[in-house]
Structure 1
């Protein structure tokens, strides 16, 4: 298929149908009539020699061929849009743009309040979606445009993914108030003699703190493995277990002083939090504006 023989507007229709799953809704989004969208779909089917979408009730289900090309289509449309949008065109005060983030629970609690407070003051019509995805899917989701940003620890990513250090956080240890073994404070011997909670989305394998402990030739005893710091924090409150977690989130959870926060008794490097985005949106005015603000807010919290 030669590109000069293809009407690129057809790909805009393709993306709208894929996103909406319905011809009527796609027509509304595109400000076209439904017959016009149906005609465009017929031309797309002819170009690809594939139905692309199959009706199931009121929905248009994408075929395997449609699923195989959707990311490339979205990526290409985003690149074209970026070339047509000068930096000065983004009116953040009047924009109703929606940005999608991939955040883990710790970063939702520590980053979203400050970010939303800023947006509510300066760009009240911009909205945010926060979701959690497997790390293996970050690149494909950023490339497809379904995801605008990801905030996470330093990850091994390709050159297509740009990232920058946003903030750092130290690890601290949480114990219940009046823990019977910690009247004199917490040293490394007391730390290793107690049972611990490990918070991880994985069902097995060490945590970041265990990697660092192993570099010192040390190993702790894990009594509970769970998925969320909030749950672990509540368990600590009613047990003698210790919890190692990021300091910023620990202060938020311990605002009422239910537990005691101790410094980590062994030297461990701070956790680096990076902001990730795809190279295709490097020059997108809205994306660039928001990521600059995120980095400004993040840098102000560096420890």
Structure 2
């Protein structure tokens, strides 16, 4: 372990690291000043001192505002990790009391997860943590790591690839794909055949504005393709479309069965081999030891393990098939 030079550190203002983190998060001296509770001139002075300290411009003006230099990007994660460790040292581990806290948690998730999780989570919070508030944001699995690093989102829930060393991830549950359709409109009863599957027009949900999904990859492997009638970024809109139009959708089983029960739709196993999916929580390592954040993660995990009563019948039938 590298030894600590106490004399050198005594000459260094550690608040500069706080200013650096705010500047990197906001990419604006004005907004960073607001975040820090300082005047704009004081924040500009802190940026000048940081530039002198690191021998780099750190932030330069561009057509889209201030942009970090490569050196600043290299410094961002070590600085944030150092600040998180300092925070965990000076903060009491038992400082979070859900019964009295008025904290706001920023959570990113797709609407399909929101409709299954948030009603039970909010009901639980109103009983045990009435002052706690949730701010839900839509997320893109491609940008979620950037959102976590910039502290725009404190916790992500969904389908995520592995992050960097600064990201923590915990599996909530695994899910599979099923087909959902209005049997009366499409004239098909389960189990749907591959012939009917490729004959019927499909509704595709895509968060990346692409009319291509995991189903298309699976069909291509057996030399088949499908017709996509509609592509939407909103998972929860799809069952309402399926209810009124002679189309079919392939969705995650939990949300599909939830809406099938509510809207009197039909669920069928997919006639092609599709990979199971893993729904996880992901967060920045700086929140790992945060007592409030840990309480929220544990609460979400427990609620995810318990199935809503209205889904029990569907899931028990699926387990028997």
The TM-score range, normalised by the shorter chain, is 0.7 to 0.9
SS at the partner of 1:151?
strand
Contact 1:174 1:242 in 2 (8 A): yes
Contact 1:14 1:41 in 2 (8 A): no
- What per-residue deviation string (whole Å, max 9, x for no partner) do you get for residues 63-114 of structure 1? 5469957955555433311222343222122112221122112112122122
Cα deviation for residue 300 of structure 1 reads 2.7
Change (3 A) 1:79 1:267: same
Cα deviation for residue 212 of structure 1 reads 4.0
What is the TM-score when the length of structure 1 is the normalising length? Answer: 0.77
Q: Which one of 48, 51, 54 corresponds to residue 48 of structure 1? A: 51
Give runs of aligned pairs for residues 162-177 of structure 1, distance below 5 A: 162-177=168-183
Note if 1:8 corresponds to 2:11: no
Moved more, 174-183 or 114-123: 174-183
Cα deviation for residue 249 of structure 1 reads 1.9
Note if 1:155 corresponds to 2:158: no
Change (3 A) 1:47 1:241: closer
SS at the partner of 1:182?
coil
Moved more, 217-226 or 104-113: 217-226
Counterpart of 1:278? 284
What is the TM-score when the length of structure 2 is the normalising length? Answer: 0.73
Give runs of aligned pairs for residues 26-105 of structure 1, distance below 5 A: 42=45, 45-48=48-51, 63-64=66-67, 68=72, 71-72=76-77, 74-105=80-111
Cα RMSD over matched residues?
Answer: 3.6
Cα deviation for residue 218 of structure 1 reads 5.7
Q: Which one of 148, 162, 176 corresponds to residue 142 of structure 1? A: 148
Counterpart of 1:114? 120
Q: Which one of 198, 201, 210 corresponds to residue 207 of structure 2? A: 201
Cα deviation for residue 194 of structure 1 reads 1.9
SS at the partner of 1:117?
helix
Separation (CA, whole Å) in 2 of partners of 1:285 and 1:82:
9
Cα deviation for residue 237 of structure 1 reads 2.5
Change (3 A) 1:113 1:178: same
Separation (CA, whole Å) in 2 of partners of 1:164 and 1:292:
11
Cα deviation for residue 265 of structure 1 reads 3.4
Counterpart of 1:186? 192
Gaps of 5+ in 2: 1-7, 60-64, 309-314, 316-321
SS at the partner of 1:156?
coil
Counterpart of 1:59? none
Moved more, 249-258 or 68-77: 68-77
Cα deviation for residue 166 of structure 1 reads 0.3
